[in-house]
Amino acid sequence: MDRRAFVKGCVFGVGLICEARRVEAAPPAEYPRVTLADAAGAPLRPSALAPHEAYCFFYPYVSTPCLLLDMETPVPPALPVPGDTRPGGVGPRASIVGYTAICSDQLSHPNAGFSPIHYLAPGQRDALVRDRDRLIVCCAHSSAFDPAAGGRVAQSPARLPLASIVLEWNAASDALFATAVRGPDSFERFFTAFDRERTLVAGPARVVPLSAYSRKVATC
């Protein structure tokens, strides 16, 4: 690597950390506590989730898509930047995590017809990220995020991690809940860019495979 490229990379890295610190310093945004439900409307059980399959639900607004993943192994709380703790996994194996499916770069997101966002399960490969897997990848502009590390940026151009959906698991009832959002709040940008409904989710949030919500899920 030549000196100019090295300096440019250092400057970018410092800028990313400073911006992330500014955004991540805010406390979790509290939204209504909602039950996660299966496609039939019954409370979603962790055992219903296939490991490493991407599921879609909407939270905290009825128009803001999220991803739910069972990473199969425990996901500890993460530190995307010094001093900021992201929630770890929940469920019997502490392996279930949730993130907004709105890319922090240019707000690309799934819709019913097409999803530029997808998850690379173990052993799957994309040209954009080469030999890496277990990443949330946005094919629109090549950004990638690590769901086992608080949604941190694994590949630019994104500068900020995905916002985490704070989840709870009630061991007695075996029910899952979404309770808050932690990280960069892109919702106002999202509503400004797209004419979408701003209504908060009031009842159970139904969870379906991403491939069932979007007729076509991108690979890149």
Which CATH number does the domain housing residue 47 bear? 2.102.10.10
* pLDDT of 129: 87
98 phi/psi in degrees, rounded to 5: -135, 145
Q: Decide: 81 and 169 in contact? Cβ < 8 Å.
A: no
H runs (alpha helix) in the chain: 3-24, 187-193, 210-213
What is the length of the chain? 220
* pLDDT of 157: 94
Integer CA distances (angstroms), 128 to 5, 137, 141, in order: 21, 9, 10
Q: What is the pTM of this model?
A: 0.86
> In the chain, which residues have pLDDT < 50?
1-25
pLDDT (tens digit, 9 = 90+) per residue, 148-182? 999 999 999 999 999 999 999 999 999 999 999 99
* pLDDT of 173: 97
Residue 141: domain span: 3-217
Give all strands (DSSP E) within 59-120, no chain letters. Answer: 65-70, 96-100, 114-115, 117-119
* pLDDT of 184: 80
User: Structural domain tally of the chain?
Assistant: 1
How many other C-beta atoms are found inside a 10 Å radius of the C-beta of residue 22?
12
Q: Decide: 118 and 219 in contact? Cβ < 8 Å.
A: yes
